[in-house]
Amino acid sequence: MAEQRNPYRGERPWLRLGFRTADGAVHHYDLIADTGSAAGIILRPDLRIAMRFLPLADRPSNFGPMSGGWLRLYNPGLGVVETVLGYGNDRVAATAARSHPNYVGVVGLPLLRLGEYGGDATDFWFRYPPTSTSTSQP
């Protein structure tokens, strides 16, 4: 099982995720892990535009309008290569950057649920694939 483990920065959990652009280039960004975010990925709008390979409808949020697009999440070391919904919003990115200048956005619960995630007093981790699967019984 692959794992990414990062010490807290600015007292926030974070992940470094790679994104593949339409021309095949891969770019890595540091994102705050936010289980309270209903959006999979929220980046600075300029990065979301550069990473987008298909458009998606914009959506409202408590931070204002978010511009949408499909992104190629590319993290073969973790075993996660997926197409995900992504959004751009200046206010979210600015809020993240206040915690640490390397943060360019947020990775939310829909993406974190692809694997297992957690933390302790010093580190936040993300593992893929999950070690167990949950099934609901009737």
| Cα–Cα dist 13/97, whole Å | 13
Q: Are 116 and 131 in contact (CB under 8 A)?
A: yes
pLDDT at 137: 41
Query: Which tokens sit at 123?
Result: 């580190």
Q: Is 28 left (phi over 0), alpha (psi -120 to 50) or beta?
A: beta
Report d(CA 64, CA 99) in Å as an integer: 20
Dihedral of CA 95/99/104/107: which sign?
A: negative
Q: Which residues contact 135 (CB under 8 A, 6 or more apart)?
A: none
pLDDT truncated to tens, each residue of the chain (138 aa)?
Answer: 899 999 999 889 999 999 999 999 999 999 999 999 999 999 999 999 999 989 999 999 999 999 999 999 999 999 999 999 999 999 999 999 999 999 999 999 999 999 999 999 999 999 998 776 544 444
Q: Which domains does the chain have, with CATH numbers?
A: 2-128 (2.40.70.10)
The structure's pTM equals 0.90
Cis peptide before 13 (omega within 30 of 0): no
Using alpha carbons only, give the angle 25, 30, 123 rounded to the nearest 5 degrees. Answer: 135
Spatial separation of the C-alpha atoms in residues 10 and 18, rounded to whole Å: 21
